[in-house]
């Protein structure tokens, strides 16, 4: 992932302002250490910190059209850029960068080109002819982006909160699937899929079609793979492999692709996989078994509870949240990313979105009917940018890596979210566990994708799967730093999103130290008393009412693996 920072329409166009923009942009250098660029047109500044993945030789930003009347600063990857170049027959491209198509598409299609992009992106586009600009963010919010406003009338755009500092008086999350135009000074939703209205779909479940949609997500004459197109890179890539269903399927599909192509993929035709956990954790064991089955070059890393505790402050600084579940899961991912970076990898394939799409969390066992079952995934997908996407993006970007998420491919989403939710519902009496439709789609007797017990392995939250003593250790550490007396005053100290556990209080104090602005605390959603992952379950089953812990183990009467690792 790259880092972008823009200050648009400010009252000061002096060298002092330029130097300040450069200074703030450097706070994003961890996202893009390979090159930096700054474009100024009148009272607009657009800065870029580049992580070079495609065309490292000539793809530095900003990128321009032929006469340089359009300048674009982008964070992201456009997977269908070669297809789009073929549409732009009257244009000349200066680079081989996948993002080079954006300026030219704007010339031909105006702002409507955004929906033509297949990928993950946040960008600022400046049009010199009338001194206007547009800003856009990808459909689900895989790339992080914030917008702010200054007292001088300037609009601020940044990949992370830390670049705003005190120079921007108010800021908030830039909504996914939207664009912002200077001419209207407002937002417009460009992403409007059929499932977004939350109306109940009725397409009959077809396991073979779903499998092909995952492998071949664009259903046109040439099938581009939801997984495979995300291997677009001039540098080594790998997969995050926990041994759970989702990461194992991605590893399996990728392995088959590499075995069936003659093209050398940086490290050769053998896939590299990565896993982290406490000694003896469920994920380490399952991931090793999957790696052996698929024949990947597997890299297994161990950490201790103390290792994780030691980096909590770094994690909160980089992830920019105080949400409990996000921090728990971000910490091992942060540690793993650092290890992976040392091996020279830049691109990782990750699994975010699958549990939301298919109702994979254990509390979905309690869904009372198919209508409720469908609306909850819709809500959770819309909120992914505040939780799992935020974690995956920032935990990897902290160490100069880019995470790509095939389950959130637009075409795959359209297919998966159009399935009649009756087929997705968990019915233990019929042998249907969570994510049954996905498991069934890849249950191939003739040419198995995975061993049966892996294909039907029960859901583990990442923060649980790395070792159950990880969460217990965090709670114990927080209890040493937060007293009962401090908790009594919590509502006065933190009137917004008041923490109700010592662990939540501990994270909040660290967050406030790094990000003391009121705008910053407002970017973290929800309430600490009922975590996002269990909020709906309280409605579905009153037995959850007094549960304050969002761990998957808290799924009452559902989780079957009470190990003490």
Which residues are tagged catalytic?
Answer: 2
Element (H, E) at 196: none
Q: How far is CA 485 from the centre of its chain?
A: 37
Give which of 405, 382, 532 is closest to 461, Cα–Cα: 532
> String of b and e for 358-395 (b: at least 16 CB within 10 Å)?
bbbbbbbbbbeebebbbbbbbebbbbbbbbbbbbbbbb
Cβ partners under 8 Å of residue 558, min gap 6: 362, 363, 365
CA distance readout (Å), 530 to 177, 311, 465, 477, 544: 27, 26, 22, 21, 10
CA distance readout (Å), 244 to 275, 326, 350: 11, 19, 12
- C-alpha span between 197 and 494 (Å, rounded): 35
Torsion of CA 492, 496, 502, 504, to 10 degrees: -160
**What is d(CA 434, CA 448) in angstroms, rounded to the nearest whole number?**
20
């Amino acid at each position: 992932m790259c880092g972008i920072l823009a200050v648009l329409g400010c009252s000061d166009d002096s060298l002092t302002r330029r130097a300040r923009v450069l200074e703030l942009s450097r706070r994003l250098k961890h996202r893009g250490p390979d090159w930096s660029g700054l474009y100024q047109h009148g009272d607009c500044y657009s800065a870029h910190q580049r992580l070079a993945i495609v065309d490292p030789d000539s793809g530095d930003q900003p990128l321009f059209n032929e006469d340089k009347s359009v300048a674009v600063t982008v964070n992201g990857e456009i997977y269908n850029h070669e297809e789009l170049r073929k549409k732009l027959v009257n244009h000349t491209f200066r680079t081989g960068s996948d993002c080079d198509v954006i300026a030219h598409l704007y010339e031909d299609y105006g702002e409507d080109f955004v929906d033509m992009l297949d990928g993950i992106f946040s960008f600022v586009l400046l049009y010199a002819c009338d001194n206007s600009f547009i800003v856009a963010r990808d459909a689900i919010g895989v790339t992080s982006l914030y917008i702010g406003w200054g007292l001088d009338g300037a609009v601020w755009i940044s990949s992370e909160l830390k670049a705003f500092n005190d120079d921007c008086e108010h800021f908030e999350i830039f909504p996914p699937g939207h664009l912002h135009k200077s001419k209207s000074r407002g937002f417009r939703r460009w992403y409007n899929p059929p499932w977004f209205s939350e109306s109940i779909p009725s397409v009959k479940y077809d396991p073979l079609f779903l499998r092909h949609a995952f492998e071949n997500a664009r259903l046109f004459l040439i099938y581009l793979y939801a997984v495979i197109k995300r291997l677009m890179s001039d540098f080594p890539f790998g997969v995050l492999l926990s041994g759970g269903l989702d990461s194992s399927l991605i590893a399996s599909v990728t392995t088959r692709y590499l075995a069936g192509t003659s093209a050398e993929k940086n490290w050769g035709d053998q896939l590299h996989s990565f896993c982290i956990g406490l000694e003896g954790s469920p994920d380490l064991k399952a991931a090793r078994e999957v790696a052996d089955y698929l024949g990947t070059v597997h890299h297994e890393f161990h950490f201790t509870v103390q290792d994780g505790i030691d980096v909590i402050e770094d994690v909160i600084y980089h992830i920019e949240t105080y949400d409990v579940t996000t921090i728990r899961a971000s910490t091992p991912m942060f540690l793993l990313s650092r290890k992976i970076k040392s091996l020279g990898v830049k691109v990782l394939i990750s699994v975010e979105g699958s549990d939301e799409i298919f109702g994979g969390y254990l509390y979905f066992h309690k869904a009372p009917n198919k209508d409720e079952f469908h609306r909850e995934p819709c809500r959770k997908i819309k909120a992914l940018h505040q939780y799992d996407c935020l974690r995956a993006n920032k935990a990897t970007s902290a160490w100069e890596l880019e995470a790509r998420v095939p389950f959130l491919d637009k075409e795959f989403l359209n297919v998966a979210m159009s399935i009649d939710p009756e087929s997705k519902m968990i019915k233990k009496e019929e042998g249907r566990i969570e994510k049954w439709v996905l498991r069934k789609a890849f249950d191939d007797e003739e040419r198995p994708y995975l061993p049966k017990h892996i294909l039907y392995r029960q859901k583990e939250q990442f923060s649980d799967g790395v070792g159950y003593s990880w969460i217990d250790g965090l709670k114990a550490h927080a209890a040493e730093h937060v007293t009962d007396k401090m908790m009594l005053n919590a509502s006065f100290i933190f009137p917004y999103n008041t923490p109700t556990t010592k662990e939540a209080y501990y994270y909040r104090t660290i967050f406030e130290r790094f990000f003391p602005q009121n705008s910053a605390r407002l970017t973290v959603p929800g309430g600490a008393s009922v975590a996002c992952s269990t909020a709906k379950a309280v409605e579905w089953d009153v037995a959850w009412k007094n549960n304050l812990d969002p761990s998957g183990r808290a799924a009452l009467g559902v989780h079957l693996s009470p190990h003490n690792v």
